[in-house]
Amino acid sequence: MNYRLFGTSGLRVSELCLGTMTFGEEWGWGASREESRRIFDAYVAAGGNFIDTANRYTEGTSERFVGEFVAAERERFVVATKYTLFSRKGDPNSAGNHRKNLVQSLEASLKRLKLDCVDLYWVHAWDYLTPVDEVMRALDDVVRAGKALYVGISDTPAWIVSRANTLAELRGWTSFAGIQIEYSLIQRTVERELLPMARTLDLAVTAWGPIGGGVLSGKYNADASPAQQAEPGRMRDTPAAARRAERNLRIAGVVREVAQETGHTPSQIAVNWVRHQQGKIIPIVGARTLAQIEDTLGAVAFELAPGQMSRLDEASRIELGFPHEFLEQPNIRDLVYGGTRDQILDRRP
């Protein structure tokens, strides 16, 4: 496996990140401790060093397993965990982005991981209640206290992330080094704002759901129900869900065609497409079995041909909408650039 620099930092992380939401069986569908260990060992044997977990994953079991598995070679691994999600349901201060939840969540995570600090601490999701400056100052405090080395943010609008980093830079606080987003051939809406922002600010991007909740793995076909075909977290059994399901199947069909041409699996094709997108994109790959992670790890062993990438792009293309498509109209470009755009050689992201 090769490695990438994490955003503007000098931190080296493997080109695939191991997602550990499946470590533990508390949610009824995860992996046992023994199978989780086999998944972890296979990832490490392939050269992986970047482990992603969170305080809520399998009620804390994921963090406990991760801490146990990295203990023998702690310095080798980049361990990332998250806060925001509740630790005690019904307690308003046990969830959210605010300083109290950040501090108590980090302390609890460090205890479960049995670590003195984490390499990367993520804001898990934006709560729309906590002021941006409170979040950034609180994160800077835990970095200065030596309990986290870098910080990032997940599942948050681009305008909030860019405002947060601008504020941090102006005040000399720790900035976000990366973002975490849902991104796959069936979920490309992040190309409207989040990915352009990440490229412009030179943020690392970790992408969860690269095989679309299993839709792109080849396990569904034209006979699958709309509920099976729907993207994770989407409304099901509605006309909109039916249209998305039909679109998803078309995209999955092209993935299968490319898989057959290359002699690789659909999951490998889907992950490969994500990791070859413009920018520092690192797919987060999870598994419930050793066979699944071994299959997914094969995505780094080959390159997709330009023609195959183009077919996948075309099959899954989305409308970027306003203002992107408006600004690309020839007459608008002529007005904005005075007819000289093609003569301006220096282009910013």
Q: Report the pLDDT value the prediction gives residue 221, as an integer from 0 to 100.
A: 61
User: Greatest CA span in the chain, whole angstroms?
Assistant: 65
Say yes or no to pLDDT of 250 above 60: yes
Question: Is the four-CA dihedral 251, 256, 259, 260 of positive or negative sign?
Answer: negative
Q: Report the pLDDT value the prediction gives residue 342, as an integer from 0 to 100.
A: 87
Category of 150 on φ-ψ map: left (φ > 0), alpha (ψ -120 to 50) or beta: beta
Burial (CB count within 10 angstroms: exposed 0-12, middle 13-18, buried 19+), residue 193: middle
- Enumerate residues 6+ apart whose C-beta is below 8 A from 344: 337
Report the distance separating Cα 207 and Cα 275, nearest Å.
9
Band of residue 349 on the pLDDT scale cut at 50, 70, 90: low
Fill in the DSSP letter of residue 187.
B
Write down the mean pLDDT value for the chain. 94
Higher pLDDT among residues 240 and 236, named by residue: 240
**Catalytic annotation, pick one of 57, 83, 121, 183:** 57
Say yes or no to pLDDT of 238 above 80: no
> Residue type for 172, please?
G
Report the distance separating Cα 317 and Cα 211, nearest Å.
16
Report the distance separating Cα 258 and Cα 271, nearest Å.
13
Fill in the DSSP letter of residue 123.
E
pLDDT per position as a tens digit, 21-70: 999 999 999 999 999 999 999 999 999 999 999 999 999 999 999 999 99
Structural domains of the chain sorted by starting position, each given as residue range(s) with its CATH number in brackets? 3-318 (3.20.20.100), 321-349 (no CATH)
pTM over 0.75: yes
Question: Across residues 71-76, what is the average pLDDT?
Answer: 97
Cβ of 68: how many Cβ atoms within 10 Å?
16
Report the distance separating Cα 273 and Cα 299, nearest Å.
9
Residue 216's alpha-carbon distances to 187, 264, 300, in angstroms, are 11, 13, 17
Two tokens, residue 112: 């479960």
Cross-strand pairs, 283: 207
Q: Report the pLDDT value the prediction gives residue 227, as an integer from 0 to 100.
A: 52
Report the distance separating Cα 80 and Cα 93, nearest Å.
23
Say yes or no to pLDDT of 92 above 80: yes
pLDDT per position as a tens digit, 191-228: 999 999 999 999 999 999 999 999 999 877 655 554 55
Cβ of 249: how many Cβ atoms within 10 Å?
18
Band of residue 236 on the pLDDT scale cut at 50, 70, 90: low
Question: Across residues 81-97, what is the average pLDDT?
Answer: 96
- Enumerate residues 6+ apart whose C-beta is below 8 A from 294: 42
Band of residue 345 on the pLDDT scale cut at 50, 70, 90: confident
Cross-strand pairs, 181: 207
Q: Is-cis flag, bond preceding 283, omega within 30?
A: no
Q: Report the pLDDT value the prediction gives residue 280, as an integer from 0 to 100.
A: 80
Report the distance separating Cα 217 and Cα 297, nearest Å.
14
Report the distance separating Cα 140 and Cα 151, nearest Å.
9
Active site residue 57: yes
Across 93-97, 194-198, 233-237, least confident range: 233-237
What is the enclosing helix (H) or strand (E) of 310? helix 306-316
